């Protein structure tokens, strides 16, 4: 059973009213009926088990059976990923959402082959829908934020919290050693990080230098060289596991 994220609305009797796209998904895609049990997630991250009372042509009314506490994800990871060709970036958004990233910032750098051009905003909207569906399927308490496409020069100046890591196979600092040292310094007490993964051709020396001047630490991952989409998925998962497991 998947969950539905809702903008919670209650009527005078205290039941939940579901309209718009959420209504369409439940009524026309899931084809729910009266007395069906559904799982809802509101803006606070609360998981609400509900029973459907009525299904009309534009609204579903449901009653709350059980509600959990407000839920917050233990680690905040912002994935900054270079835009990739074809549907490879769709895969990055889907799988990194499932892994638990909190924010995704697509960017264009010197060696990016894909050119979103004027379609960038429309692609961002599609990626948001992919993130929403992946969050439903993986039962996450929140949907990650997906930003508009930015340039590399804009990206390295974006304000983020926690560690700032740029993945570079030629870097002298190993990810395992870097994370271990940062955890010893207390990084897991404020578990947040930003991870930047470049295109298939990697970053230029100028880009690496510019990123370093803005506080990004160049890190190698100590095993086989990965495709860009694979690196985004694996490295973000490692960071989430390491920082989250030390709390």
**CATH code, 95:** 3.40.1280.10
Q: Is residue 191 located within the same domain as residue 82?
A: yes
Q: Is residue 60 located within the same domain as residue 84?
A: no
Q: Is residue 102 located within the same domain as residue 220?
A: yes
Coil, helix or strand at residue 187: helix
Structure tokens at 51: 């029973």
Length of the chain: 247
Beta carbons of 145 and 127 less than 8 angstroms apart: no
Q: Residue 45: its pLDDT value, please?
A: 81
Q: Is residue 158 located within the same domain as residue 63?
A: no
HSE-up (13 A, CA, CB side) for residue 121: 1
How far is Cα 107 from Cα 152, in angstroms, rounded to an integer?
Answer: 6
Question: Given strand 9-10, what is the order of strands in its sheet?
Answer: 3-5, 37-41, 47-55, 60-67, 16-18, 9-10
Q: Is residue 48 located within the same domain as residue 17?
A: yes
Using CB atoms within 10 A of its CB, is residue 9 exposed (0-12), middle (13-18) or buried (19+)?
exposed
Q: What is the mean pLDDT of each run of 10 residues along the chain (247 residues)?
A: 71 77 88 93 85 94 87 89 93 97 96 73 90 92 94 93 92 90 86 95 95 95 84 95 74
How far is Cα 233 from Cα 217, in angstroms, rounded to an integer?
Answer: 19
Q: Residue 150: its pLDDT value, please?
A: 95
How far is Cα 155 from Cα 91, in angstroms, rounded to an integer?
Answer: 21
Beta carbons of 89 and 229 less than 8 angstroms apart: yes
Q: Is residue 173 located within the same domain as residue 58?
A: no
Contacts of 75 (CB under 8 A, 6+ apart): 100, 102, 191, 192, 193, 239, 240, 243, 244
Q: Residue 246: its pLDDT value, please?
A: 47
Q: Is residue 191 located within the same domain as residue 97?
A: yes
Q: Residue 13: its pLDDT value, please?
A: 65
Q: Is residue 115 located within the same domain as residue 199?
A: yes
Q: Residue 8: its pLDDT value, please?
A: 61
* Runs of H (alpha helix) within the chain: 20-24, 88-99, 120-137, 152-155, 175-184, 205-213, 228-244
Asked which of 67, 84, 119 is the last residue of a domain, the reply is 67
CATH code of residue 21: 2.40.240.20
Q: Is residue 63 located within the same domain as residue 81?
A: no
Q: What total number of domains does the chain contain?
A: 2
Asked which of 34, 67, 100 is the last residue of a domain, the reply is 67
Label the pairing between strands 60-67 and 47-55. antiparallel
Label the pairing between strands 37-41 and 47-55. antiparallel
β-bridge partners, 18:
60
How far is Cα 40 from Cα 67, in angstroms, rounded to an integer?
Answer: 9
Q: Is residue 55 located within the same domain as residue 147?
A: no
- Other C-beta atoms closer than 10 Å to the C-beta of 94 total 19
Asked which of 67, 94, 122 is the last residue of a domain, the reply is 67
Q: Is residue 38 located within the same domain as residue 149?
A: no
Q: Is residue 42 located within the same domain as residue 159?
A: no
Q: Residue 189: its pLDDT value, please?
A: 83
CA 216 to chain centre: 20
Q: Residue 9: its pLDDT value, please?
A: 58
Q: Residue 18 is part of which domain span?
A: 3-67
């Amino acid at each position: 059973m998947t969950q539905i994220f809702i903008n919670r609305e209650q009527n005078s009797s205290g039941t939940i009213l579901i309209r718009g796209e959420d209504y369409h998904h439940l009524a026309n895609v899931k084809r729910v009926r009266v007395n069906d049990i559904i799982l809802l997630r509101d803006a606070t991250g609360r998981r609400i088990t509900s029973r459907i009372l009525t299904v009309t042509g534009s609204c579903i009314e449901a009653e709350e059976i059980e509600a959990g506490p407000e839920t917050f994800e233990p680690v905040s990871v912002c994935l900054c990923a270079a835009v990739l060709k074809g549907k490879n970036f769709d895969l990055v958004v889907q799988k990194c959402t499932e892994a638990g990233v909190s924010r995704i910032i697509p960017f264009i750098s010197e060696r990016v082959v894909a050119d979103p051009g004027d379609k960038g905003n429309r692609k961002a909207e599609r990626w948001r829908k992919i993130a929403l569906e992946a969050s439903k399927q993986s039962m996450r308490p929140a949907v990650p934020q997906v930003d508009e496409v930015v340039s590399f020069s804009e990206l390295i100046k974006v304000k983020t919290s926690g560690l700032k890591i740029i993945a570079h196979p030629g870097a002298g600092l190993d990810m395992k050693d870097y994370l271990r040292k940062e955890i010893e310094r207390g990084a897991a007490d404020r578990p947040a990080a930003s991870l930047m993964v470049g295109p298939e051709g990697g970053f230029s020396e100028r880009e690496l230098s510019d990123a370093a001047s803005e506080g990004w630490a160049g890190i190698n991952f100590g095993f086989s060289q990965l495709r860009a989409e694979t690196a985004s998925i694996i490295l973000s998962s490692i960071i989430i596991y390491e920082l989250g497991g030390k709390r």
